[in-house]
Structure 1
Amino acid sequence: MKKSAGVIGAVVILGGAYLGATWYVGKQAQAELERVVAQANVRLLKVLGPDLGGGGIKLEISDYQRRFFSSDVAYSLHLKDEDGKPVDIKLRDHLQHGPFPLDALRSGDFTPMLAHSQAQLVATPATQKWFDSQQGASPLRIETRVGFGGTGKSAWTFSPAELVEGGDKLSFSGGSIEMSFSNDFNDNTAAGKFASFTLANAQTGENLDVKNIQGSSQTTMVAENDIKTQSSATIDTLVVGRAAEGAVTVEKLSINLDSRQKDELLDGALRYDFGRVAVGDIDLGSISVGGKARQLDVAALAALAGEYDAIQARHGAAGDQDLALTDAEEAALRARLMAVLASNPSLAIDPLVWKNAKGESQASLQVDLASPGGAPEQAVDVLLAETLKRVKLDLALSKPMFIQAFGQAQGDAQQKLQMEMLGAMIYDQYTSRLRDAGLIKVDGDQAAAAILYENDSVNVNGQAMPVAEFMQRAMSVLM
């Protein structure tokens, strides 16, 4: 009797301890979620700047109903569309408290955790058509296991969808994204894949078809306010345009992004590699293009873009050519531009490579900018001269590659030959002019130029000259 009483007492104690732990963990889960949401908004503010991150996009917990063993949570992501109108995306989450959530135990996971989350998208005006394609079911489900110490894993599952509106038909294969978090949720890795995405218009014949999309990313907080990101994506085939008019086909497209942001300053490199580009039956070969930025103040740049968009909205201008700035608006834009230049940013296209069966051509351009020393009200030409600290252009052009690219504009063999002859004539004519002006060097079938502007002087292929002389030589080619 004493033994059975002791067992019962132990069970009661253990049960009470578990209930107490569950209550405590549930309370901690709420505090942790509120902290992570606040942290996400701070990051958005840093990346987008106060003009966009402060009012354009925000994540919030709109409702939190905490009970003993579980909680029901509602999240809202507030955005603005291109017209400035509010757009809301909402999630509903059923959160089972740790340390041993029931659904995790059912799946065979006995790891102690803070919470187990089962979230799904909720219908809003912005997502209603997506829901209609699922006969009312949620098209997005998210399962997340939140560990202790700022760790976790999340799986996002997108359902296939077929949407028809007007003459447009959208077909989506569905897909998945897997994420993991560590370092107090500051570090994360993600990988996702989608089999296909198609948007077609039967009336116009316009078509967008994307096959086998895969992507991955890794974000690491190196130090406080110092975030490093590496992302990549690949697409097997991308077709856009009207088939009857020769749609553009891209095969083996890859995108790579490396960036590091310290406070508001961003260093980044973005590269696109197009394995094969074709327009109809015309094979253009492969194209690679990379862009780089250094010491770019993203907050100041976002403020400049926001200022310009606000001015354009006030004027109701359809394009830049329709925009007539007032003195006050011009002064406001100049002030925003000076803030961008204050960090002495550098921008580059490096490299641009175009290859076909006959050869390869390359180009690279680097522009180092500086904050002008004079007053921002000074003339545009003076302001530009002070802003351009260093400009470097390198160019290498292959004659056989150029001729083939020129000739492919025609499908008929005789017309193609004529176009190749015309391409050769244009190449010879302009390379001769540029060579005579001392702006390029020609070596066999290769033309190359190396131009450097620095300290109010231009160096062309190793020969220094004043800016005025360089401009005269360039104008002589165009005359």
Structure 2
Amino acid sequence: MSTTNKLLAGAAILVAAYAGSSWYVGKKAEAEINHQVNEINAAIATQLALSLGEGEIKLNVVDYDRGWFSSKVNYEIRIKSAKDEQFQFLAQDHLRHGPFPFAAIAKGHIAPLLAYSDAKLLPTKETQPLFDAAKGEEPLRAHSFISFGGATKTVIDLAAIDYRDEDGNQVLMAKSEGQVDYVRKGGKEQADFTMTFPSLSLVVDEGDLHVQLNGMRANGSITEQDKAQASEGELHIDQLGINVENSTQIFIENIKTASSYEVKDGLLDSTLTYDFGKILADKQDLGQMQLDVGVKRLDYVMLNQLSQVDDLDSMDEDELLPMIKQILVNKPEVYINNFMLSNPAGSSTLTSDVRFATTALDPVENEELDLGHYVESLNADIRLSRQMIKGYFSGENMISSMADMFFNSAAEEAQEAGLVEYDGNEAKLALSFDAATNKLLLNNKPISVEELVQILFSMQMGGGLF
């Protein structure tokens, strides 16, 4: 055999070998795609359950046409609202099989891959306005590099949007981008994401309301291991501006929100925080607000079942009570780690923690008010600043004086009733209860439930604030 024939034969063998490997890799890629779709649906179901969402969101593979070197995959996102409205979004994916998909190499990725994915949103009745607003660009495009171990890097591109309707409403969004990194190793699966939106503008009723967001960034992760699930996420906004009828202007700067949850052994722990760095209303500095709240030991199975109920308000009490009682079995806890309002003149804070008793919904056997029947423990600490109240009206001397006088009068009345401690500048209330010792303390002094109720009743009758 001549050298040329040997080379041609060798080339033919290599081509056949690559075609065979590409076909095999294509089969593996299909299995990986189906696995990741299942993981996405599980994560969506968890998020809906946490928010007691009454609708449904599901991603489906509606068509998978696998070839030797590439596959065409059609996806469907079905959304069912709480009012049973149905929405459908379609996406198409051109999946190039590994081990060396040329499209990935063209983008600078030379390492072996299971597949390279190029997915885009398809125009439908629901999405056509989005395509029109993108002015000829693809509204959404995602490029994914899928490794043999399942690790996937997805780069997301969102086109600039200029949407206007006949009622004078307008949505403007600058070109935005994001990335999702998925890793599966040693029984642990984790997806990390980042999204960046340089600017987003909403105009309603030809400018009667104008909302502007600048410098919006989101990031987070979702993790699953040994049947335990966890998630955390953050959202940062450099500035939120609200203009109402060109007369009232509100600006909130340095907005930070964060959330997290963990589901382990069927129990859910979750936190949520807000931080508004600076609030301005018509150029007046209203200071900042911080909120940090959370829950512990919520029965995730029951929570998920409640999220599937179309209308909780119409649910029969005989059905609802057993589910809530099951949630109480683990003595769930609701807490406010910190709620703070502050301005240049002062700050006020609130912290609280309530751990519910398993008997909270059981019938009461006697007429005496037994706090331990409802809660295992309770703690609350409230501190109200007189100067902060005045500071909110610093530009209006008369209103500031009236607010100060009203606060001082109410605080003195509450102090005289024994509800708060007041030093002329700050009103403080501390309340704690421990079912184990059956002790209720108000401002570190023992008090009975009946006495506390009497104080509150007398304050209400007297028109007191506290």
Q: TM-score, normalised by structure 2?
A: 0.89
Distance in 2 between residues matched to 1:233 and 1:348, nearest whole Å: 22
Q: 1:199 Cα shift? A: 1.1
Identify the residue that residue 248 of structure 1 maps to in structure 2.
Answer: 250
Partner residue of 2:346 out of 351, 355, 359: 359
Distance in 2 between residues matched to 1:297 and 1:246, nearest whole Å: 45
Query: Is 2:131 the counterpart of 1:131?
Result: yes
> Could you say if the C-alpha distance between residues 230 and 417 of structure 1 is closer, same or farther in structure 2, counting changes exceeding 3 Å?
same
Question: Where do 5+ consecutive residues of structure 1 fail to align?
Answer: 313-324
Q: 1:100 Cα shift? A: 0.3
Distance in 2 between residues matched to 1:289 and 1:27, nearest whole Å: 49
Partner residue of 1:441 out of 418, 421, 432: 421
Three-state SS of the structure 1 residue aligned to 2:56 is coil
Identify the residue that residue 214 of structure 2 maps to in structure 1.
Answer: 211
Identify the residue that residue 16 of structure 1 maps to in structure 2.
Answer: 16
1:247-286 Cα offsets, whole Å, 9 max, x none, are: 3321110112232222542212211110111222332111
Identify the residue that residue 458 of structure 1 maps to in structure 2.
Answer: 440
Equivalenced residues, count: 456
Distance in 2 between residues matched to 1:381 and 1:66, nearest whole Å: 72
Identify the residue that residue 180 of structure 2 maps to in structure 1.
Answer: 179
Answer with 83-92 or 254-263: which moved more.
254-263
Partners of 1:338 and 1:376 within 8 A in 2: no
Q: 1:298 Cα shift? A: 4.0
1:182-193 counterparts in 2 under 5 A? 182-183=183-184, 186-193=189-196
Answer with 248-257 or 114-123: which moved more.
248-257
Partners of 2:200 and 2:212 within 8 A in 1: yes
Code of the aligned partner of 2:380: L
> Could you say if the C-alpha distance between residues 123 and 385 of structure 1 is closer, same or farther in structure 2, counting changes exceeding 3 Å?
farther
Code of the aligned partner of 2:63: D
Distance in 2 between residues matched to 1:275 and 1:77, nearest whole Å: 37
> Could you say if the C-alpha distance between residues 86 and 343 of structure 1 is closer, same or farther in structure 2, counting changes exceeding 3 Å?
farther
Partners of 2:54 and 2:308 within 8 A in 1: no
Identify the residue that residue 169 of structure 1 maps to in structure 2.
Answer: 170
Partners of 1:266 and 1:297 within 8 A in 2: yes
Distance in 1 between residues matched to 2:366 and 2:127, nearest whole Å: 50
Q: 1:51 Cα shift? A: 12
Code of the aligned partner of 1:391: L
Distance in 2 between residues matched to 1:121 and 1:58, nearest whole Å: 16
> Could you say if the C-alpha distance between residues 30 and 202 of structure 1 is closer, same or farther in structure 2, counting changes exceeding 3 Å?
same
Code of the aligned partner of 1:220: T
Q: 1:49 Cα shift? A: 4.3
Identify the residue that residue 391 of structure 1 maps to in structure 2.
Answer: 378
> Could you say if the C-alpha distance between residues 305 and 153 of structure 1 is closer, same or farther in structure 2, counting changes exceeding 3 Å?
closer
Partner residue of 2:233 out of 221, 231, 241: 231
Partners of 2:180 and 2:193 within 8 A in 1: yes
Three-state SS of the structure 1 residue aligned to 2:286 is strand
Distance in 1 between residues matched to 2:54 and 2:453, nearest whole Å: 45
Q: 1:295 Cα shift? A: 1.1
Identify the residue that residue 63 of structure 1 maps to in structure 2.
Answer: 63
Question: Where do 5+ consecutive residues of structure 2 fail to align?
Answer: none
Q: 1:143 Cα shift? A: 0.4
Q: 1:402 Cα shift? A: 1.8
> Could you say if the C-alpha distance between residues 271 and 380 of structure 1 is closer, same or farther in structure 2, counting changes exceeding 3 Å?
farther
Partners of 1:61 and 1:75 within 8 A in 2: yes
Query: Is 2:337 the counterpart of 1:334?
Result: no
1:84-140 Cα offsets, whole Å, 9 max, x none, are: 211112110000000000101222321000000000001222212101223465300
Q: 1:337 Cα shift? A: 2.3
Q: 1:175 Cα shift? A: 0.3
Query: Is 2:87 the counterpart of 1:84?
Result: no
Partners of 1:48 and 1:298 within 8 A in 2: no
Identify the residue that residue 38 of structure 2 maps to in structure 1.
Answer: 38
Answer with 262-271 or 146-155: which moved more.
262-271
Q: TM-score, normalised by structure 1?
A: 0.87
> Could you say if the C-alpha distance between residues 393 and 373 of structure 1 is closer, same or farther in structure 2, counting changes exceeding 3 Å?
closer
Code of the aligned partner of 1:205: D
Identify the residue that residue 321 of structure 1 maps to in structure 2.
Answer: none
1:338-387 Cα offsets, whole Å, 9 max, x none, are: 23323321111220111111111111121212332774799999899633
Identify the residue that residue 317 of structure 1 maps to in structure 2.
Answer: none
Identify the residue that residue 277 of structure 1 maps to in structure 2.
Answer: 279
> Could you say if the C-alpha distance between residues 306 and 457 of structure 1 is closer, same or farther in structure 2, counting changes exceeding 3 Å?
farther
Three-state SS of the structure 2 residue aligned to 1:183 is strand
Identify the residue that residue 419 of structure 1 maps to in structure 2.
Answer: 399
Three-state SS of the structure 2 residue aligned to 1:247 is strand
> Could you say if the C-alpha distance between residues 311 and 470 of structure 1 is closer, same or farther in structure 2, counting changes exceeding 3 Å?
closer
Q: 1:333 Cα shift? A: 2.8
Q: Higher helix fraction: Structure 1 or Structure 2?
A: 1
Partners of 1:265 and 1:298 within 8 A in 2: yes
Distance in 2 between residues matched to 1:365 and 1:244, nearest whole Å: 40
Three-state SS of the structure 2 residue aligned to 1:186 is strand
Identify the residue that residue 99 of structure 2 maps to in structure 1.
Answer: 99
Distance in 1 between residues matched to 2:112 and 2:208, nearest whole Å: 55
> Could you say if the C-alpha distance between residues 244 and 430 of structure 1 is closer, same or farther in structure 2, counting changes exceeding 3 Å?
same
1:194-219 Cα offsets, whole Å, 9 max, x none, are: 11111112447022211110111123
